[in-house]
A and B are shown apart, each in its own frame.
Chain A
Amino acid sequence: MSNDLPLSPEDVEEITSILSKSSYDVLDIETARFHLRVKRSGDGFTQEWSPIGGDPAKTVASAVEPEVAAEEDGLLVIKPPLPGTFYRAPQPGAPPFVKIGDKVTSDTVVAIIETMKLMNPVHAGVAGEIVEIIPENAEPIEATSILMKVKPE
Chain B
Amino acid sequence: MARKNINTLFIANRGEIALRIIRTARRLGLKTVLGVSDADVNTRGAAEADVVVRLGPAPSSQSYLNIAKVVAAAKDVGADAVHPGYGFLSENINFARAVAEAGMVFVGPEPRALDAMGDKLKARAVAIEAGLPVVPGGEAETAEDAAKIAEKTGYPLLIKAVSGGGGRGMKRVDKAEELTSQIGLAMSEAEAAFGDPRIYVERFIASGRHVEVQVIGDGKRAIHLGTRDCSIQRRFQKLVEEAPAPNIPDDKHRAIEAAAVKIAEHLNYKGAGTVEFLVDAETFDFFFLEMNARIQVEHPVTEEITGVDIVEQQLLIATGAPLGYRQRDIEFLGAAIEVRINAEDPDADFRPSPGLVTKAEWPAGEGVRVDSHIRSGDSIPPTYDSLMGKLIVHGSTREEAVARTAAALKSLNVEGVKTTTPLHARIMDDLRFQKGGVDTRFFEGLKNG
Contact = CB atoms under 8 A, between A and B. Distances in A.
Contact of A85 (B44, B59, B392, B413): B59
A16 B371 CA distance: 17
Contacts of A46: 361-364, 411-413
Given A8-B27, A47-B361, A85-B383, A41 B411 contact: yes
Contact of A82 (B47, B352, B360, B363): B352
Interface string A6-38: 101110110111001000000000000110001
Interface residues of B, number: 52
A152 interface: no
Given A48-B376, A50-B375, A56-B376, A140 B58 contact: yes
Q: Which of B27, B351, B352, B368 has the most CB of A within 10 A?
A: B352
Nearest to A142: B382
A42 B382 contact: no
B168 to A, nearest CB: 15
B411 A45 contact: yes
A33 B416 contact: no
B369 A44 contact: no
B273 interface: no
A63 B355 contact: yes
Contacts of A51: 42, 44, 47, 375, 377-378
A62 B376 contact: no
A113 B47 CA distance: 31
B370 interface: yes
B361 A42 contact: no
A6 B42 contact: no
Interface string B184-220: 0000000000000000000000000000000000000
Given A13-B368, A47-B361, A48-B361, A62 B408 contact: no
A70 interface: no
A49 B363 contact: no
A47 B416 CA distance: 17
Contacts of A134: none
Interface in B367-405: 367-371, 375-378, 382-386, 392
A41 B407 contact: no
A85 B382 CA distance: 8
B47 A44 contact: no
B76 interface: no
Nearest to B23: A6
Q: Which of B23, B44, B364 has the most CB of A within 10 A?
A: B364
A59 interface: yes
A8 B343 CA distance: 24
B413 A116 contact: no
Interface size class of A (residues with CB under 8 A): 35 or more
Interface in A100-148: 114-118, 120, 138, 140
A43 interface: yes
Given A34-B47, A48-B360, A116-B343, A60 B377 contact: yes
Contact of A115 (B50, B58, B352, B377): B352
B354 A115 contact: yes
Contacts of B370: 9, 12, 47
B362 to A, nearest CB: 5
A47 B375 contact: no
Contacts of B44: 34, 49, 51
A5 B368 contact: no
Interface in B222-278: none
A110 B354 CA distance: 22
Given A49-B375, A52-B47, A60 B363 contact: no
A44 B42 CA distance: 30
A99 to B, nearest CB: 24
A10 B47 CA distance: 20
Contact of A33 (B48, B359, B410): B48
Contacts of A115: 352, 354, 382
B178 interface: no
B363 A47 contact: yes
A13 B365 CA distance: 5
Contacts of A48: 359-362, 375-376
19 contacts: A8-B23, A9-B369, A12-B370, A34-B44, A42-B411, A44-B364, A47-B364, A47-B370, A48-B362, A48-B376, A51-B47, A62-B355, A63-B355, A82-B354, A85-B382, A116-B343, A116-B352, A116-B385, A140-B382
4 closest A-B pairs by beta carbon, nearest first, are A9-B369, A116-B352, A49-B375, A47-B364
